Structure 1
């Protein structure tokens, strides 16, 4: 029986804020399965800010990038059976013929894994969030690069997002003071409910420099940067000696048509003897299972909470994506097919 697939394809590369006309929604018939292939039907699509800069590398006409949780509905594979759940980089599409080999690698663009039913039972969407790439980004990036010590002070921006909200909570578990910045009063209240010591609305707080001083009277030891731009130099200026900085994202610049002018920060790094390191979370793929097991335990113990902003309907995927850049999501943004 033939299977029809609907998919979002890149019609033109984004310039400034993504526009609906940059993408097309098309329908096509998939070829029959070959030996060693299996058919996946999408259940959940991941929405992540990094799609915006990374999509510049996609050829026009390509399926829009992204991970999904999918169910195996047909199989000619000895490794994947009908009913299995997988997470894979199949993009914004409803159905995919997937080869059983060639996906397991150290590259997120080819990373696929079968979901452990004991870990994801009744919560398969978390494979795209707290127990997926964003969770690994928070856990591995923060612990490996910031190397937190009890009593230290962390600043995290984009703190109500999928990654930032977890970073702050992990900091608290490790005995640190967590200071988070988000874009609405509602999100500030959310951060306080997660146990952040201080939470501020960056849109209404006034001077960033003065707000940092008030929130962090003993200075800043750890900085987990999801935003970039003016945040970088302002926080570095108030960091304590031997502070550590994990550069995870730069969402404030993703849609800029011109790069903002900034100040040189080399003197700040030198004078404060800071360790500053950018990272892509795929470098720790081998640590992901350990991270997911630990965070699952923390969830069960009530030490770690997570939020999902769910958009229903494959046709609404673009709206969910666009919402990432207007602060529409709290926690992980996903689309339920």
Structure 2
């Protein structure tokens, strides 16, 4: 699946094109992988634009970028043999060739392969890093997480609860909010579609908010800033509310000053030195059932564009994947 054109506003199906390609011969050190799952993530919307960002724009007529999990079919690399399960960045394709040094071998015997694209992959590490290294929670703190039913937000709240914090989420709709509280163990969840976002959030955080994990921006971010306690910490992970070009002006920015808040944007792939520690901790929590996750799975490569469009509008529940086999 290639990027056929750059979106003007909302992403449309015609921005993509399905093509057939010939599998190339392997060079020294390369590995051929049959992808079982594709990861769909909000950052991809930014890559589809030519606007200045932290990474190069997705090239037109080239395979859409994206994380993958699959099985080694052939290998010219000494660390990989056919049958190995691996995670990499082979993009929206049924098969791909990669330098073996760019692949991570995973154990899919006790944990499903798909989890390595979610809670045990980039989303899980994003949650782990943002919480521990930016929000710096202490027992008794109240933390707020936007997009709390998503792949990243769901992990943030659960990890915070394990550290003795009070966790409040924001999600869209009664079903998602019920899941956040009843299944994930958050103390409260605010339905941003309910029409009382600011009032409901204030009622859920009578003692204020000590740390915020921001995935969305927009109205939820504006409602949270007046409730932040002095010297609160904000981990700025994403601004999905503005990815289609909508107004992202922060209407309560003055609270950054009056409450002496700290806000830091971050890209988790710039902190690869911490991934072994984070993945080890996350893996233990998943294996023991202390960290739960949910997936929305579309079937087949042709379904990827619609699934991605749904992700950007909040249609997914948990981690959005595409299953290819």
Task: Tell me which interval the TM-score lies in, with the shorter structure as reference length.
Answer: over 0.9
1:275 maps to 2:262: yes
Against the structure 1 CA distance between its residues 241 and 211, is the aligned structure 2 distance closer, same or farther, given a 3 Å change threshold?
Answer: same
Query: Cα deviations across residues 198-257 of structure 1 (Å, max 9, x unaligned)?
Result: 1121101x233222210100111111100012332321111111111100000000012x
TM-score normalised over the length of structure 2: 0.93
Q: Tell me if structure 2 keeps the 8 A contact 1:185–1:201.
A: yes
* CA 185–264 in structure 1, closer or farther in 2 if over 3 Å, else same: closer
Q: Which of 11, 17, 20 matches 2:10?
A: 17
Go from structure 1 to structure 2 and tell me whether the alpha carbon gap of 1:19 and 1:292 turns closer, same or farther (over 3 Å shift): same
Q: Which runs of 5+ in 2 are unaligned?
A: 50-56
Tell me the secondary structure at the aligned position of residue 260 of structure 2: coil
By how many angstroms is 1:33 displaced?
1.8
Asked if residue 333 in structure 1 is aligned to residue 320 in structure 2, the reply is yes
Give how far 1:260 is off.
4.2
**Count of equivalent residues:** 316
- Structure 2 CA distance, aligned partners of 1:230 and 1:329? 20
Q: Indicate the larger mover: 55-64 or 40-49.
A: 55-64
Q: Say yes or no: does 1:263 pair with 2:251.
A: yes
Report Cα offsets for 1:69-103 as digits up to 9, x if no partner. 021101222222111111111100111122234x3
- Partner in structure 1 of residue 23 of structure 2: 30
In the alignment, the residues of structure 2 paired with residue 84 and residue 301 of structure 1 have an alpha-carbon distance, to the nearest angstrom, of: 24
* Structure 2: distance between partners of 1:287 and 1:121: 24
Q: Retained in 2: the 8 A contact 1:138–1:163?
A: yes
Contact 1:131/1:295 (<8 A) preserved: yes
Q: Look up the match of 1:239.
A: 228
Structure 1 residue 152 corresponds to structure 2 residue 145: no
- Confirm whether residue 123 of structure 1 aligns to residue 116 of structure 2: no
1:41 is matched with 34
For 2:193, the equivalent position in structure 1 comes to: 203
Structure 1 residue 122, shift from structure 2 partner: 4.4
* Gaps in structure 1 of 5+ consecutive residues: 1-7, 104-111
Structure-2 residue corresponding to 1:95: 95
Q: Matches of 2:30 and 2:118 in 1, distance apart?
A: 27
CA contact (8 A) 1:314 1:335 kept: yes
| Preserved contact between residue 55 and residue 65 of structure 1 (Cα < 8 Å) | no
Instruction: Name the SS for the 1:28 alignment partner.
Output: coil
Whole-angstrom CA distance in 1 between matches of 2:162 and 2:213:
16
